[in-house]
Structure formats: C-alpha cells, structure tokens
C-alpha cells in the first residue's frame, strides 16, 4: 500500500484573522487528497454512490498541528493506508511545505464504508479491497 | 411584506488574513437569515423538500460591500421580500452592526422555486404565496 | 471547572451532498462554543490579541463521529476543561441533539497559548488561569 | 487585456444537501482564479501587502447562477478585466464545465485597492496598472 500525494495551494478562503490556515480547513485539504487518491486508484465517489450504493464516512480523526500554513503556501498532502478492515479503512495523512521538507500537520483518519441509501455499515467494495491489498 | 431580522455573531471561521469577514461568507449569513425568515413564517425547508418536492435555489445575487465586519462583531441580517413571481422571489437583505446603525453590506437575492426531484422550475407553494401577500 | 453549552443550528452551508454536516464543520461548531465559553468567563479573544498579545491555537484534535447531524438540526455543543497546563489547555467537547439526549460527536481539543506577535508559546494569562481553577 | 483561465475541481466540501455546489462557494472559485491570474501576471498578494502595503478588497459582486456544478465536476474559471480605474478594477468571470462548453455561472466583480495598514483607498500599484494596460 503505497503513498499518494496531492498538491494544495492556500487561498484567502482558507485563512483566518491569525494570518494562517483555519484549523478545520486542514481537514478539507486531507479530504481532497483522499478523493484524488481514490480517483488515481480508478474509483469515482459519485459512481460509488449511484452504482454501488456505497458512501464513505469519516468515523474518527486525530490531527496534530505542528506549524501553521500561510496564504500562498504550496502544500503537499499525502495519503497512506495503514489499516484495512472489512467495512473500514484507516489512513495516515501528512501536510508538508517545500515538497515534504517542512512538516505542518499530521492526521490519522478512520473511514467507514456505508450503504448510501441507509447509512448502515457495509463491506468496502471488493474492487477497492483488491486494489488496496495488491 | 414586513422586514425580518436575525442576529449573527462573527467567529474565527468567518474571517480571513485581512482580519475581516471573507467576502463569500456574507452570503452564508444572508442565507441563514432567509432560512430563519421562512421558519418564522411557518415553513421548514427540509419538509418543503420531502413533503412538497420543492427546493429553493439562488438564481442571482448582487452584493455591495460597504464596510468590513470583524471578528466578534454582533451583526443583524435583514430579509425583505421585494418582488414575488409565480416561481421566483426577490429579497432585499442588509447586514448591519450596532443594531442597524452601521451599514456593512447590502444584497439583492433572487430565488427560484424548483422541483427537488428534477431541479426544474415550479410554482412557489400556495401556502407560501399566501403568507407573502398578506 | 464546570460545563458550558452553546446552541448551534445546522444551515445549508454546513451540509454536503450526503445530506449531513460535512466532517470539518463540526470543528467550526466546537470553536464557536469555545469562543462563547471564553466570553461567558469574561474574555474576548480580540482584546486578548490586542491588549495581552495572546492568541490561542489548536495543537491537537481527536474527534469521534458517532451519528450525523442534518440540515435544520438544533444542536448543543459543550465545553469542559479537562487539563490546564502553564501554556496549554485541553477541553472535552460534545455535540448532541435533542438537548443532550442523542450524542452525535465527541472531541478532545488541545489549545496552546501563543504570543500573537511571534506565534511563540507563552503562559495562559493569569486572569484566565484564575477563572479556570476556581 | 486578455482572458485567463484556471481549473477547479469540485470536492465534497463545496457541495450542500441539494447535491450541488453551495452558492457562496462559487465566489471562492472566482477568487482562486483571480489570485492565480495575478500570480501569472507576476504579482503575489502576500508581497503586495508586506512590500507595497496594498490589499485588494471586493466592493461589489453580481453573480448569475445558470446551471449547478456537481461533485467531481472539473470546472474552468475565467478572469477578464473589463474596467480599470485609478483605485479600482472590474473583472468579468465565468465558470464553465467541459472546457467552456457548458456555462454554469457568470460574475462581475469590482475590486478596490486599499492601503493594507489603514484599509483606505489607494491607487493600484503602477506595476500592475502597466501590466493591465499593455
């Protein structure tokens, strides 16, 4: 299970009056990277909902804020799967500056697989399981 | 068609690095006030979707930014219907500080009534039409 | 160190295509409650910045998402200090529905006290320390 | 004064319970494109603040919402200057899908040039004026 990385630029909308990225917005950056990671593996989440009746929901997050990101910063957000269950998946994510040289933020995100129609837990689709265990 | 007003406090999340409210967020404040205005008239938008298959969508906004709102400001957001069509509604909205003494922002918002299932235009429900023309 | 609670209504802006509150937005609700908790204790964060050169920054969050909040839900967000250090403070926060009957989300948030001018750690102001240890 | 365009992908964070992009978020997309347009012209807004004491503030927006953008849509946001004053600038912006084939949203945005230290109007820096009139 390899590491994936995705670039994110910091815009005005992301900052707060402290001049740095607002703490909830790092979760947006991490979610963008997860979406692009799934896309790179061949999975579009809108098709997962409409064709497979599967939606991913975040169950748990742990985020450590090390240094603040600032306006105009060019960030790198990584995704690394660390635990794959039948109906859940845990990912390690990092947000860095200067192509990984400066660590800003680390997160561990646990995702649950749910039936989109009922929001009840369901197995992660076999096609995704396969890709993640190769 | 009387004026309705709703209080909004400015939090960290609303500000940007300029130390003032980010320009898109005034539209959030206006939309909160519209939701509470409809609620005060007796209409819950989740029930409009599930029971009446009606959803309101913004078609047009004109916003004039006069003075910036800042962190911790206690704002007042008003809603005043100015034009009622068969399938659309135009509202004048103002955002002020100090209970109306200081004008920060003015908006004119045009709303369309859509079938929630198809996103096609549909008449504004008669019950709402009635309330607005009393 | 008593518990504080603050009401939050869910608006359109808070939801995502899943029909529930977007996971990052619970952190906004928690931050609003922390701001109001400090205000209730007699501290305004804009004055802390300008008069005391102190700004609070989040160092760590752990959030458990139990059930989703939906559009129009009237939520209650609590703040309970659980650990008070010289330059940091940990808070337990909960988001519930129906006045506490239904638990939606639990968080543990660690806050650091920083000099606003340098972003370096500094002691929590004595006036706040006092209030929190009474 | 040529047209500039910038790609924007729609993520979960941008959508609301209607399954489409929340109306305020189109303003974020437009602002990202303006930032990248200035960058392409050679101007970094953080340097404009710190070196030139100049910050740009939005004075007026008119937005027409034609069709909704949806999750996963790959959008194109354009920037076209239409009026250049001494201390203000008006831009026409469009948001399209399928590389311009499908028009979703049109905006006219008026920007004011302010002294960052006082928020008072000031001339647009000569270096920017020059670039825009070439």
pLDDT value, residue D17: 93
In this model, does residue C100 exceed pLDDT 70?
yes
pLDDT digits (tens, 9 = 90+) for D64-119: 999 999 999 999 999 999 999 999 999 999 999 988 899 999 999 999 999 999 99
Two tokens, residue C40: 């209730």
pLDDT digits (tens, 9 = 90+) for D13-27: 999 999 999 999 999
pLDDT value, residue C3: 86
Q: List the chains bordering chain D where 3 or more Cβ pairs fall under 8 Å.
A: A, B, C
Query: Best residue in B16, B24, B46 to probe D by mutation, most D CBs within 10 Å?
Result: B24
Distance CA D111, CA C103 (A): 45
Domain that holds residue C104: 4-133
Query: Residue C18: its chain D contacts at CB < 8 A?
Result: 12
Distance from CA of A72 to the nearest CA of D (A): 7
Distance CA D26, CA D16 (A): 12
Summarize the confidence of residues A77-101 as an average pLDDT. Answer: 95
- Per-residue pLDDT band for A77 (boundaries 50, 70, 90) equals very high
Which one from D14, D16, D46, D73 is the annotated catalytic residue? D16
Are residues A12 and B17, on separate chains, in Cβ contact within 8 Å? yes
pLDDT value, residue D44: 97
Are residues D61 and B58, on separate chains, in Cβ contact within 8 Å? no
- Nearest-CB residue to C15 (from D16, D24, D70): D16
Question: Is C63 exposed, middle or buried (CB count within 10 Å of its CB: 0-12, 13-18, 19+)?
Answer: buried
pLDDT digits (tens, 9 = 90+) for A11-69: 999 999 999 999 999 999 999 999 999 999 999 999 999 999 999 999 999 999 999 99
Q: Which residue in C has a C-alpha nearest to residue D23's C-alpha?
A: C13
Distance CA B15, CA A17 (A): 6
Are residues B31 and D23, on separate chains, in Cβ contact within 8 Å? yes
Are residues B70 and C46, on separate chains, in Cβ contact within 8 Å? yes
Distance from CA of A68 to the nearest CA of C (A): 9
Query: Residue D63: its chain B contacts at CB < 8 A?
Result: 60-61
Q: Which long-range contacts (CB under 8 A, 24 or more apart) does C119-124 make?
A: C119/A68, C119/C55, C119/C57, C121/C87, C122/C53, C122/C54, C122/C87, C123/C86, C123/C87, C124/C54, C124/C84, C124/C85, C124/C86, C124/C87, C124/C88, C124/C89
Give the number of C-alpha atoms closer than 13 A to the C-alpha of residue A70, restricted to the C-beta side. Answer: 10
Distance CA D128, CA A82 (A): 49
Q: Where are the alpha helices (DSSP H) in chain B?
A: 25-41, 45-52, 126-133
Q: Which residue has the tokens 């003015």?
A: B106
**Helix/strand/coil for B45:** helix
Helix (H) or strand (E) holding C57: strand C54-65
Query: pLDDT higher for A130 or D98?
Result: A130
In this model, does residue D3 exceed pLDDT 90?
no
- Nearest-CB residue to A15 (from B17, B70, B71): B17
pLDDT value, residue C99: 80
Are residues D45 and A72, on separate chains, in Cβ contact within 8 Å? yes
Are residues C62 and A57, on separate chains, in Cβ contact within 8 Å? no
Are residues C71 and D17, on separate chains, in Cβ contact within 8 Å? yes
What is the CATH number for D81?
Answer: 3.10.129.10
pLDDT digits (tens, 9 = 90+) for C1-49: 568 999 999 999 999 999 999 999 999 999 999 999 999 999 999 999 9
Query: Best residue in D11, D14, D16, D23 to probe C by mutation, most C CBs within 10 Å?
Result: D16
In this model, does residue C91 exceed pLDDT 80?
yes
Q: Which residue in C has a C-alpha nearest to residue D24's C-alpha?
A: C13
Q: List the chains bordering chain B where 3 or more Cβ pairs fall under 8 Å.
A: A, C, D
Q: What are phi and psi of B65, to 5 degrees?
A: -100, 115
User: Does residue D56 come out as left (phi exceeding 0), alpha (psi in the -120 to 50 range) or beta?
Assistant: beta
Distance from CA of D11 to the nearest CA of A (A): 6
Q: Which residue in A has a C-alpha nearest to residue D57's C-alpha?
A: A12
Distance CA B99, CA D57 (A): 25
pLDDT value, residue A38: 97
How many folded domains does chain C comprise?
1
- Give the ipTM of the model, two decimals please: 0.95
Q: Which residue in C has a C-alpha nearest to residue B27's C-alpha?
A: C13
């Amino acid at each position: 299970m390899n590491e994936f990385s995705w670039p994110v630029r910091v815009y005005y909308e992301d900052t707060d009056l402290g001049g740095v990225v607002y703490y909830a917005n790092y979760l947006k950056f991490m979610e963008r990277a997860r979406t692009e990671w799934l896309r790179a593996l061949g999975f579009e989440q809108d098709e997962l909902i409409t064709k497979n009746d599967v939606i991913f929901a975040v169950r748990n997050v742990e985020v450590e804020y090390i240094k603040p990101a600032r306006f105009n910063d060019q960030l790198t957000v990584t995704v690394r799967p660390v635990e794959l269950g039948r109906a859940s998946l845990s990912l390690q994510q990092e947000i860095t500056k200067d192509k990984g040289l400066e660590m800003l933020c680390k997160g561990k995100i646990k995702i649950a697989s749910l039936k989109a129609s009922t929001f009840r837990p369901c197995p992660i689709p076999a096609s995704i399981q396969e890709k993640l265990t190769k």
